[in-house]
Amino acid sequence: MSDTIFHKIIRREIPADIVYEDEHLVAFRDIAPQAPVHVLFVPKVDFATLNDVPMTQAEVVGRLAVAAADYAKREGFAEDGYRIVMNCNANAGQTVFQVHLHLLAGAPLGRFGTAR
Ligand code: AMP
């Protein structure tokens, strides 16, 4: 396994506020939330970016999205709505090179595409 901060969280080497885990992925609260709810869904298999996920392993990405939707339903904000985001490489501002999906919710969200 690689050695990003997310791998360390998966291995429990550094703390995180983990809200969900199964055999395939871990979900934990973002340390710098950009919305009232900001949870990261991270697979337990190594892919640095979305570019690195082959079509034969598309389920890795699908599970992140469906796990996020399930979390939204369990937490009661699925009907109000939420956004899922995956940043890929420099122009999207990706900072952690283990593929992950952001779940943002809890308030009306601005339109996407604004610079950080
Ligand atoms: P990205 O820009 O898509 O690579 O997103 C990486 C996210 O990881 C950012 O939103 C960071 O705030 C978040 N992050 C970085 N370190 C941690 C950490 N130790 N625990 C939780 N979230 C983190």
**pLDDT per residue as tens digits for the range 11-41:** 999 999 999 999 999 999 999 999 999 999 9
Model-level pTM?
0.96
32 lines ligand 1 (CB under 6 A): yes
Ordered by start, the domain boundaries in the chain are 5-105
Measured in Å, residue 38 CA sits from the centre of ligand 1 at 10
31 lines ligand 1 (CB under 6 A): yes
CATH class of 5-105: alpha beta
Query: Does an H or E element contain 104, and which?
Result: strand 101-105
Measured in Å, residue 80 CA sits from the centre of ligand 1 at 25
Query: Does an H or E element contain 112, and which?
Result: none
Which residue from 32, 37, 25 is spatially nearest to 100, judged by alpha carbons?
Answer: 25
Looking at residue 112, what is its pLDDT?
Answer: 76
Give residues with Cβ within 8 angstroms of 24, minimum separation 6: 43, 44, 45, 60, 63
- Assess whether 100 carries a catalytic annotation: yes
